[in-house]
C-alpha cells in the first residue's frame, strides 16, 4: 500500500487537490505497478506563517517582496 504525503502551501482549490491526487496516483500505478485502489495520497496544507525557507517564514518573504515592489 503506497502512501504519499505532500506538503504544500495552503490556498489550493479543491479541483487542484483532486488533480494532484489523480496525477500522483497515476504515477504510482504506471511506474511502480501499484493497484490504484491501494494508493493513498495525504495532502498537508501549511500556512505561510508556519513554513520557513532560507531562515525566514514564507509570510515574511511575501511581505518583503510586496514592500520592494511598492518601492519601484
State the CB neighbour count (10 A cutoff) for residue 68.
Answer: 9
State the CB neighbour count (10 A cutoff) for residue 39.
Answer: 19
Residue of 1, 2, 52, 70 with catalytic role? 2
2 annotated active-site: yes
User: Measured between alpha carbons, how far is 33 from 22 in angstroms, rounded to an integer?
Assistant: 15
Q: Which residues are catalytic?
A: 2
Amino acid at each position: 500500500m503506497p502512501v504519499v504525503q505532500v506538503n504544500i502551501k495552503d490556498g489550493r482549490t479543491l479541483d487542484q487537490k483532486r488533480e494532484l491526487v489523480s496525477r500522483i496516483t497515476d504515477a504510482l500505478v504506471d511506474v511502480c505497478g501499484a493497484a490504484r485502489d491501494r494508493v493513498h495520497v495525504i495532502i498537508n496544507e501549511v500556512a505561510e506563517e508556519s513554513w520557513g525557507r532560507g531562515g525566514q517564514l514564507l509570510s515574511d518573504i511575501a511581505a518583503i517582496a510586496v514592500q520592494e515592489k511598492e518601492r519601484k
